[in-house]
Amino acid sequence: MRSFGLIGYPLAHSFSAEWFAEMFRREGIRDAVYANYPLGSIEELPALLAEHPLLGFNVTAPYKRAVMDYLDQIDPTAERIGAVNCAVRQGDTWKGYNVDWIGFAESLMALTGGECPHALILGSGGAAAAAAYGLDELGMVHATVSRSKKGAGILSYEALTSELLQEYRLLINATPLGTWPDTERFPAIPYEWLTPAHMLYDMVYNPPETAFLRKGREAGASTMNGRRMLEIQARETWKLFLSACH
């Protein structure tokens, strides 16, 4: 039996195992399983891999950056992004990849309709790094909004003025805020300045409409959740997992 899985914490909100189970059923794959492995600390990863003969695993918050220290090789794209969301066994070693950016960039096109609006990425973790890389690949101007990080191209939430939001019409939630079960949490942006010209993209997909997206919809903005991103990156992940089986 070929075994795969997902690490992160918490994982109760994740649909990844459900997606893979459905894909295995649809494709008639009977010799593969995909399970969740919630880790209270990334330091638990070596013991997990020693106990479970996984051929590959996905990585979600909060370990997309920290997991890199536990892998033997990092794909150049993941190295540039600075985050890994998929690891594949290669013999006795592990190699990390990032396919989040593919899921993000490909799904975003349905929201923007071919436009290239300036974008604000809310958050500065691994998901935000993948979003930034995806926007670069799409040729979109972007800036990061963070509560904790400072530096060039990084804004504080207090710096979000009405003038800035007129210039940056695409807002991307790359934080876990609003994820089930804490569904009433949302990034602290000035929602009163949103207009029908704005587009809100939430990498969170459970619930389907987060408080962030609801507030955008109520302002007349176009909205999109992260479900399609999940499906696309899962498809790309499976391609990498298959490479571990040959």
Catalytic residues: 64
Closest CA to 157 of 143, 170, 169, 167: 143
Tell me the two tokens of residue 58: 């996905």
Give burial (CB, 10 Å; 0-12/13-18/19+) of 152: exposed
State phi, psi for 106 to the nearest 5 degrees: -70, -40
The CA–CA distances, whole Å, from 77 to 2, 96, 213, 234, 240 equal: 27, 10, 30, 17, 14
Who's near 228: CB < 8 A, 6+ residues apart?
Answer: 103, 107, 110
CA atoms within 13 A on the CB side of 235: 12
Q: Does the bond joining 187 to the residue before it have cis omega, within 30 degrees of 0?
A: no
Tell me the two tokens of residue 179: 């994820």
Show the DSSP H helices in 174-226 as ranges.
211-218
Coil, strand or helix at 102: helix
Coil, strand or helix at 148: coil
> Dihedral sign, CA of 130, 131, 135, 136?
negative
